[in-house]
Amino acid sequence: MTEAIRIERDGDVAIIVIDNPPINAGSVAVRRGLLAAIEEIGQDAAIRAAVVIGAGKTFVAGSDLREFDLPLQEPQLPAVIAAIESCGKPVVAALHGAALGGGFELALGCDGRITLAGTLVGLPEVSLGIIPGAGGTQRLPRIVGIPTAIRLIASGERVPAAKALALGLVDEVVDGALRPAAVAFARRLGNGRALLRDREVPAADDGKVAAATRDALKLGRNRPAIRAAVEAVAAAARLPIDEGLARERAAFQELRVSRDARALRHLFFAERESARHPDLADAVPRKVERIGVVGAGTMGTGIAIAALDGGFQVVLVERDDAALARGVRRIADHYAGRVAVGKLDEAAAADRNSRLTAGTDWTLLSGADLVIEAVFEELAVKQDVFRRLDAVARPGAVLASNTSYLDLDAIAAATTRPRDVIGLHFFSPANVMRLLEVVRGTASAADALATGLAVGKRLGKLPVLTANAFGFIGNRIYAAYRRQCEFMIEEGAYPEQVDAALESFGFAMGPFAVADLSGLDIAWRMRQAQAATRDPQARYVTIPDRLCEAGRLGRKTGAGYYLYADGGRGRQPDPVVRDLIDRASAEKGIARRPLDDDEIRRRALLAMMNEAALLLAEGVAARPGDVDLVLTNGYGFPRWEGGPVFLARERGRAALERDLDWLAGLGGPGFTRADPAPLLGHTPG
């Protein structure tokens, strides 16, 4: 036994308690203790059965990922599960909180599973670039069959208790005391065993298996972990279980040290670290139950939906009745759609709609604890909103701007209470995108910032703290990336080639397709606002401005970098744009040259790394990992590539120095070459 494991007794039933706070991670100490406990109860004639249960708030919420970059430490989890299966006495897993990954595999190795209502179970290993490695791909199909096992494992779905019972993943769900129910369950098993390894895999229709495989590979972007998971599950139907287990373990070990897995672990630890804010440790968030939203456009209604989904009372205010009616209808249609596709029941939709108050009277905001402005991205407009909020919002209310690049301090200056002003930069669609940049103004109070972070978590967002600087973290890096891509079309590439090269890297969309989707006029207005302060010697690409001047504002006008047909969806390269680009290059005396896809990807990614190093040096981002969280959660950067900081660390200092020198030479006047040192610190975790 170890300190993480203890044995308690209830008559003839041994209760093995896992006590490894905070989440009972399946560390080497837990595994050693479990193995010793199983051996002990196997030799104790007075014990007829055992229950494995977690102390604290959860069963086993997963493996200890800190061990994945270390040499293997014995015993491994498969040896623990093998000991359970061969101990000669029934063992019941009592689940509460979460039984995920190795925790659920441990439960699947037991004779039965009983769970507390509200528990989540699942095998989410593919989200970390690996597959279940302790029997999950072999035992789960013996319960649910091959097609459903492929879907559950390849999606990494976390299954709530009621659904788990319906699928047969657990045997009982209890609302009351878990421990006595588990002891009674173990006694009912008597001396009999009910091991999954002894079951046959249910026969499956070949068409359903093929469909599940096709869907899994599409959803998982055909990444190595998804392919390996599908292969391992399919093998369960044709191989003896011990051979299937051996193949699964070999695939797991290979994937564990793969680049995908290392990148995804980097993001896991970065996310854990991003939740810690030492300078806010003593700050108590203000109480928020009612959220006001100013602006009923696409962003404002998305924020309102996110707040309603988070359980808040919401007040939505617009300038005129027509705009307000459109926003309210958009929210109602959203919930009607969720009901129609079975994502929400009618009672839950009615509850959300009932918590919405809408009007054009700004005094409706007087009772709000937090007010979020979501109006037109223009400083004067936002300052006017905050002057009005200053007059109607109650003392102590947090006032938040959803600005994506404007100066938060200039906005806060329009109020008499800049301490209450923070930035909450949502990403569109606000009710879907997980990222939330929480912006610290010069005067922002610690408890106001803590409130923004706490509300973000309640909304199910990933809140990342950023200093007040142009574009904050994400838009500043994305602007540097897009600028480098504009350099490349000026030098010899065309938009469709740049987009294709970066989409093949893994971006959801290339930069020019994104620009067309967002609307080219947004960045155009930003450039116009900066024109007076722009370095006249700096390299400046006029192509985007010329497109806007020609009325080509993207999908909404049917033309931007591309032509759009079929309601603005199908994009087509346009000879007119090629001619415009060629003329712009000629006017600058640039001899166009071919750029291959490798150069395109290399320059675009290096531009991100360079800008990330600059903003880290300036303190805009608190930690290197925060940069990667922002890019992967808000800008379509492929998670399996880890983010620009991870890529920089993979390159190493010497290669990165050479690459940035090369990029600086291509960037011309106005390019600031960063010192890469801020990127190369120790990985969080």
Q: What is the pLDDT of residues 475-533, one digit of tens each?
A: 999 999 999 999 999 999 999 999 999 999 999 999 999 999 989 988 888 888 778 88
H or E stretch including 165? Answer: helix 161-167
Q: Are residues 11 and 111 in the same domain?
A: yes
Region of 602 (left: φ > 0; alpha: ψ -120 to 50; beta: rest) is alpha
Q: How does pLDDT run across 281-310, given as a tens digit for each residue?
A: 999 999 999 999 999 999 999 999 999 999
pLDDT attached to residue 190:
82
Residue 337 included in any domain:
yes
Of the listed ranges 360-369, 401-410, 466-475, 517-526, the one predicted with least confidence: 517-526
The answer to whether the CB of 476 falls within 8 A of the CB of 613 is: no
* Residue where one domain finishes, among candidates 468, 503, 536: 468
The answer to whether the CB of 482 falls within 8 A of the CB of 515 is: yes
Residue 614 included in any domain:
yes
Q: Are residues 432 and 292 in the same domain?
A: yes
The percent of residues above 90 in pLDDT, for the chain, comes to 91
Is residue 105 part of the annotated active site? The answer reads yes
What are the CA-CA distances from residue 512 to residues 348, 515, 612 (Å)?
40, 5, 21
**Residue 418: CB atoms within 10 Å:** 21
Q: Are residues 426 and 551 in the same domain?
A: no
* Residues near 163 by beta carbon (within 8 Å), at least 6 away in sequence: none
Q: Are residues 483 and 435 in the same domain?
A: no
Q: Which residue has the tokens 């590439």?
A: 493
Q: For residue 353, what are the domain limits?
A: 288-468
Q: Are residues 444 and 574 in the same domain?
A: no
Q: Are residues 335 and 447 in the same domain?
A: yes
The answer to whether the CB of 51 falls within 8 A of the CB of 186 is: yes
Q: Are residues 108 and 152 in the same domain?
A: yes
Question: To the nearest 5 percent, what fractions of the chain are helix, strand and coil?
Answer: 55, 15, 35
Structure tokens at 504: 């093949």
Structure tokens at 353: 């709609």
pLDDT attached to residue 546:
96
Is residue 657 part of the annotated active site? The answer reads no
Q: Are residues 350 and 210 in the same domain?
A: no
Residue 275 included in any domain:
no
Q: Could you give the 3-state DSSP secondary structure of residue 573?
A: strand
In angstroms, the CA 368 to CA 318 distance is 15
In angstroms, the CA 475 to CA 167 distance is 44
The CATH number assigned to the domain holding 576 equals 1.10.1040.50
Rounded to 10 degrees, the C-alpha dihedral 567/571/576/579 comes to 160
Average pLDDT score, the chain = 95
Q: Are residues 509 and 636 in the same domain?
A: yes
The answer to whether the CB of 612 falls within 8 A of the CB of 645 is: yes
Using 50, 70 and 90 to split pLDDT, how confident is the model at 1? Answer: low
pLDDT attached to residue 536:
85
* Residue where one domain finishes, among candidates 468, 497, 519: 468
Q: How many domains does the chain have?
A: 3
**Which of 40, 85, 125, 491 is labelled catalytic?**
125
pLDDT attached to residue 70:
82
Q: Are residues 227 and 301 in the same domain?
A: no
pLDDT attached to residue 619:
96
CA atoms within 13 A on the CB side of 190: 2
Q: How does pLDDT run across 442-464, given as a tens digit for each residue?
A: 999 999 999 999 999 999 999 99
The CATH number assigned to the domain holding 92 equals 3.90.226.10
Q: Are residues 224 and 331 in the same domain?
A: no
Residue 685 included in any domain:
no
Q: How does pLDDT run across 254-271, given as a tens digit for each residue?
A: 999 999 999 999 999 999
Handedness of CA 213, 217, 218, 220 (dihedral sign): positive
**Which of 105, 248, 437, 486 is labelled catalytic?**
105
Residue 123 included in any domain:
yes
CA atoms within 13 A on the CB side of 4: 19
Residue 241 included in any domain:
yes
In angstroms, the CA 350 to CA 257 distance is 48
- Nearest CA-CA partner of 103 in 82, 74, 124, 128: 124
Higher-confidence position of 537 and 488? 488
Using 50, 70 and 90 to split pLDDT, how confident is the model at 66? Answer: confident
Residue 13 included in any domain:
yes
569 pLDDT exceeds 80?
no
652 pLDDT exceeds 60?
yes
684 pLDDT exceeds 50?
no
pLDDT attached to residue 568:
59
- Nearest CA-CA partner of 83 in 134, 47, 46, 119: 134
- Nearest CA-CA partner of 52 in 103, 97, 86, 100: 103
* Residue where one domain finishes, among candidates 468, 491, 520: 468
Q: Treating both helix axes as pointing N-terminal to C-terminal, what angle do 474-491 and 653-667 enclose, rounded to 10 degrees? A: 60
- Nearest CA-CA partner of 211 in 195, 230, 224, 198: 230
Q: Are residues 459 and 531 in the same domain?
A: no
Strand 120-122 vs strand 158-160: parallel, antiparallel, or unpaired?
antiparallel
**Residue 618: CB atoms within 10 Å:** 12
Handedness of CA 370, 632, 221, 216 (dihedral sign): negative
Bridge partners of 564?
Answer: 571
One-letter amino acid at 269 equals F
The CATH number assigned to the domain holding 409 equals 3.40.50.720
683 pLDDT exceeds 50?
no
Residue 278 included in any domain:
no
